Structure 1
Amino acid sequence: MSRLSSRAPAAAGAGLWLVAAAGGALFSLPFVHTGAWWASLLLLALLAGAAQRLSPGRAALAGWGFGTGWLAAGTWWIYISLHVYGGLPAALAVAAVLALSGGLSLYLALALGVFARLRRGRPLPDALLLAALWLLAELARGVLFTGFPWLATGYAQVDGPLAGLAPWIGVYGIGAVAAVLASLAASALAPAGVRGPAAVRGGAGAAVVLVLLLSPLAGRDFSRPSGQLAVTLIQTNVAQDDKFAADKMPEALEWLAQALQAAPGDLVIAPETAIPLLPAQLGPEAWQAFTLPFTAEGTRRAALVGLPLGSFEDGYTNSVAGLSAESGASEQRFYRYDKHHLVPFGEFIPTGFRWFTEMMNIPLGDFNRGPLVAPSFGVRGERVAPNICYEDLFGEELARRFAAGEGAAPTVFANVSNIGWFGDTIAIAQHLHISRMRTLELQRPMLRSTNTGATAIIDHRGVVQAQLAPFTRGTLAGQVQGREGLTPFVRWASRFGLWPPLLIALAVVAAMAVAAAVGRRPAASS
């Protein structure tokens, strides 16, 4: 009998985990189909409602399942880089994706377990507690161990009504507001017998008041036009397994040189490692074919081109070279941006994981880091700030480039990427939405030049002005309006990073913990 009784809770726990994981998998959809922003709030409300009724242990289990399903469904494309290009056996590649998703979801498990332990049964305090814990979980995932903030909750709202809060509180703040609304909605929609009619009315009323208080913040312009640039963005569309192939590289480099030479406009941008060799490996003549169209005396055009730089003695960097006859960056008219936020396993090997990388057949880099705060590239009076691949996930780091003051602040951002490692998958759409969120936070346009997509021009309000079809070779010509002026997000994030939301969230949790302790204290005997 005892054996049967022990199996029943285990089966119930497994069922809860699987149901939560299914909900988490659905939660990943609005990060691609952003018109479904409402679905993320609905699913978040269902999770909040469950956490309001579950014990701390079962709430943690639900959070772990939800997070694992969310991240596994949203980042399954990592499997392609591990198995298709890395040669890792399929079973091990699947296990690696699940292990990463499950490990990162432990933050959410802890958050929901603490929520179930400290909640007071009152809609607004419970909603603030959930928002604080949700924020702490997302900050932990986005910062610890170099951070992996892909699919942070706020990205699902890039086309939703909460997007207007981005220039105030950033993507993590939007996620916290979403958690508040979801918790209040869960309280308002709960059966009266579960929460009580007063709690139902209180949850609905608090949600309405919160929306009314936040609505005046949305839609404000904190920036103003600084100038106009004609730009051409290059999409090379080189298959990842051809990128370093000796028989395919010459043709790809020849096409790139011709595209750079023929591209119109003030600024031409080529993607990350568009040139996959060091300048010395190219040879003087080939290197000149790339540089001369932009550095010759009297030339008016400028270019940003992704390539590796460095030497065996000094180490190598994943870099962007700025080419201009007018930049004055050096005697050789050469601007250099070195990637700061490197990708674990792709650009550096985390301590203790060399055994894992040795199982794969991928030409992994071991790059040096560039400075966190890098100067911009001057083009016709505009200050263009490059960032490479998934560096644009870290809005707080891009905000640091404004710390020198408005006169030196970027007026345009340029992202050069190569996510050909992940094939024709949802990663392309997800990365585009990430860039759009950065434009909302910073109120700066973003120029995206990529290998396989999405190559696009995004204005300072997150609107895609023009875009090339993914997995096509070509160029995208258009206009971009530079912007100056600082958003509230830039003002606090450039000085303090993510400390303000972290400290606020910790203060809320500490206050609720004290309130819970006082509420449980036995009354003094008379």
Structure 2
Amino acid sequence: MLIPQYITKRISAWIMLLGLGALLALVAELPYGGWLQIPILSIVWWRLRLEVPETAKRYFGLGLTFGIGYFLVGLWWLYISMHDVGGMNPILSGVAVLLLSLYMAMYFSAATFTIRYCKQSRIAGLLLAASWVVMEYLRGYIFTGFPWMGLAENQFNGPFALIAPIFGGLACTFLVVWTSWEILALRVRPFTSIITIFATIALTQLAGQGSYTKPFGEPISVRLIQGNFEQSLKFNPQAISQQIDFYVSEIQKQAADLIIIPETAFPWPQNNLPYGLLNYLQNYSNTSLSNLLLGLVGEARGDQEMQYTNRAIGLSPNTQPYQYDKVHLVPFGEFIPPGFHWFIKAFNVPLSDFARGSFDQKPFRIERKNQASVNATITICYEDVFGDELALRIRRSQEPVHLLINMTNLAWFGESQAPTQQLRLSQLRSLETGLPAIRATNTGITAVLGSDGKVIQTLPEFTQATLTVTIQPYSGQTPYVRWGNLPILSLSAALLIWGLIRHRRF
């Protein structure tokens, strides 16, 4: 009887952690998801503490199981893009999502090793939070990075979002993990832990009362055109022509300070667009005094051949066209990493291989008659996942930035939680930078956000409509824009060094 019970006990640990990971991802979509994730993490730490006597291999496997449950639920929409839209083999698509989840989970599991080696330390919660921050940072950089589904963006519906303008999203992550550990410590030192939890939340709310940016000039009028075109029509020339005609017609219906169409709304390469189209739209910009921002496929001359780019073209009254080429490309979605071309050819996987834009591209200048121009930093698709890169671009810009604009096409991911996930990311970026944001999408969520990240107005998903709204530009820089992740990474590194010294001493 002892052997079956032992085996059952071990299997139940795997199932429980897999379920907790899935639950952690599911509650992120709820109105108070950022709050709910904290007690769930406390249960995870409790379960992992029970496994401390076990081998390092089993401990790593249990942490990996928790991460796999989390990322499989959070990233399942990638299957839609690969299989339903991209035409990849269903088994291969499923395996790809599983392997990506496994890779992402490795960072989670590595961070939890702090529990194994510092279980009895009074600063175990701080060390766990520090290691989690370091792992999240590395997840955003290694192999070009994929920091999607971090704990920070969920804090927009949680207690710690207001620290983001000062120390960024990683600071939110630090406080989430530390607070969840303090909840676990209530059994051992209830008074100290209660004081710690309430003081941390109170100080965060107090710190969030500061204002680091201020309104700049008069509000601008904006029109965001949501075409709602299926991605499966991208290889249909007649459908593409109808899509281009729709956007051109909608652009001309009403003038505005700024009119935006989504990422690759003109899905043909720039030189293959209908003859004279961009000149025609430039003339409309001149006569209507409207600034236009157009998503299309750009072309750039490489070392040996012409390469394509994911491009935004800006047309302003009586000025030269503006051009922004996407910098941070999606691995396997927009470029093929070195060493993987053989795999793509062997399995006939339909993937793009775009050229990368330069990092120091100027902001888009929105011209206004008899008023100061407004400068907007452009991001395309998942570039707004990388908060530190956006902060660096704003910090290094020779012209002040007053507005964030994200152009995206989430038709790749069907009716999934991907649009709401990216909306939360955009909200965190606005909060970190203190700047309002515009999201122009094909299928949704098209939205306008205030400088505090709160949604001002949106369009319903999967509808063909235009959002007409005014938005107030802001000027100035938050502490996070000035410092980036340096403070929170320095704190985390110092804590881990201190913890290592204490561990070796005792």
TM surpasses 0.5: yes
Cα deviation 1:369-390 (Å, max 9, x = unaligned)? 1122221111121101111000
Corresponding residue for residue 303 of structure 1: 292
Corresponding residue for residue 23 of structure 1: 20
Which stretch shifts more, 173-182 or 55-64?
Answer: 55-64
CA shift at 1:222, angstroms? 0.8
- Measure the CA separation in 1 of the matches of 2:18 and 2:288: 57
Which stretch shifts more, 441-450 or 50-59?
Answer: 50-59
Matches within 5 A, 1:281-430: 281-294=272-285, 296=286, 298-311=287-300, 313-326=305-318, 328=319, 333-358=320-345, 363-379=350-366, 380=368, 381-404=373-396, 408-430=399-421
- Measure the CA separation in 2 of the matches of 1:300 and 1:362: 45
* Contact 2:269/2:308 (<8 A) preserved: no
Corresponding residue for residue 212 of structure 2: 222
* Contact 2:405/2:437 (<8 A) preserved: yes
- Measure the CA separation in 1 of the matches of 2:381 and 2:359: 15
Residue in structure 2 matching 1:35, options 32, 42, 50: 32
CA shift at 1:334, angstroms? 0.5
Secondary structure class of the residue paired with 1:373: coil
CA shift at 1:67, angstroms? 1.0
- Measure the CA separation in 1 of the matches of 2:347 and 2:415: 21
Corresponding residue for residue 153 of structure 1: 151
**1:466 and 2:464 equivalent?**
no
* Contact 1:257/1:289 (<8 A) preserved: no
Q: What amino acid is aligned across from residue 29 of structure 2 in structure 1?
A: V
CA shift at 1:517, angstroms? 1.3
- Measure the CA separation in 2 of the matches of 1:67 and 1:341: 25
- Measure the CA separation in 2 of the matches of 1:120 and 1:256: 62
Residue in structure 1 matching 2:126, options 109, 128, 136: 128
Q: CA 1:415–1:504 in 2, change beyond 3 Å: closer, same or farther? A: same
- Measure the CA separation in 2 of the matches of 1:264 and 1:9: 71
Residue in structure 1 matching 2:253, options 262, 270, 290: 262
* Contact 2:381/2:406 (<8 A) preserved: yes
Secondary structure class of the residue paired with 2:252: helix
Corresponding residue for residue 200 of structure 1: 190
Corresponding residue for residue 180 of structure 2: 182
Corresponding residue for residue 268 of structure 2: 277
Q: What amino acid is aligned across from residue 412 of structure 2 in structure 1?
A: W
* Contact 2:88/2:349 (<8 A) preserved: no
Corresponding residue for residue 443 of structure 2: 452
- Tell me the C-alpha RMSD between the 2 structures: 2.1
Q: What amino acid is aligned across from residue 477 of structure 2 in structure 1?
A: L
- Measure the CA separation in 1 of the matches of 2:7 and 2:86: 37
Cα deviation 1:29-78 (Å, max 9, x = unaligned)? 23322423221111111112233443173543332111111111001000
Cα deviation 1:272-302 (Å, max 9, x = unaligned)? 00111123212423333433311x3x54111
CA shift at 1:350, angstroms? 1.2
Q: CA 1:51–1:200 in 2, change beyond 3 Å: closer, same or farther? A: farther
Secondary structure class of the residue paired with 2:491: helix
* Contact 2:114/2:124 (<8 A) preserved: no
Residue in structure 2 matching 1:46, options 43, 46, 50: 43
* Contact 1:385/1:414 (<8 A) preserved: yes
- Measure the CA separation in 2 of the matches of 1:386 and 1:356: 33
**1:71 and 2:62 equivalent?**
no
- Measure the CA separation in 2 of the matches of 1:374 and 1:69: 39
* Contact 2:223/2:259 (<8 A) preserved: yes
Q: What amino acid is aligned across from residue 310 of structure 1 in structure 2?
A: E
Q: CA 1:314–1:359 in 2, change beyond 3 Å: closer, same or farther? A: closer
- Measure the CA separation in 2 of the matches of 1:247 and 1:65: 47
**1:139 and 2:137 equivalent?**
yes
CA shift at 1:361, angstroms? 6.6
- Measure the CA separation in 2 of the matches of 1:178 and 1:491: 24
* Contact 1:165/1:217 (<8 A) preserved: yes
CA shift at 1:363, angstroms? 5.0
- Measure the CA separation in 2 of the matches of 1:507 and 1:299: 57
**1:251 and 2:242 equivalent?**
yes
Give aligned pairs, total.
Answer: 494
CA shift at 1:314, angstroms? 4.5
- Measure the CA separation in 1 of the matches of 2:307 and 2:6: 55
CA shift at 1:349, angstroms? 0.4
- Measure the CA separation in 2 of the matches of 1:289 and 1:12: 70
Secondary structure class of the residue paired with 2:472: strand
CA shift at 1:18, angstroms? 2.0
Secondary structure class of the residue paired with 1:403: helix
CA shift at 1:88, angstroms? 2.5
- Measure the CA separation in 1 of the matches of 2:358 and 2:339: 25
Q: CA 1:451–1:358 in 2, change beyond 3 Å: closer, same or farther? A: farther
CA shift at 1:409, angstroms? 2.3
The runs of 5 or more residues in structure 1 that have no matched partner are 520-526
The runs of 5 or more residues in structure 2 that have no matched partner are none
CA shift at 1:155, angstroms? 1.2
Q: CA 1:217–1:232 in 2, change beyond 3 Å: closer, same or farther? A: same
Secondary structure class of the residue paired with 1:408: coil
- Measure the CA separation in 1 of the matches of 2:100 and 2:456: 35
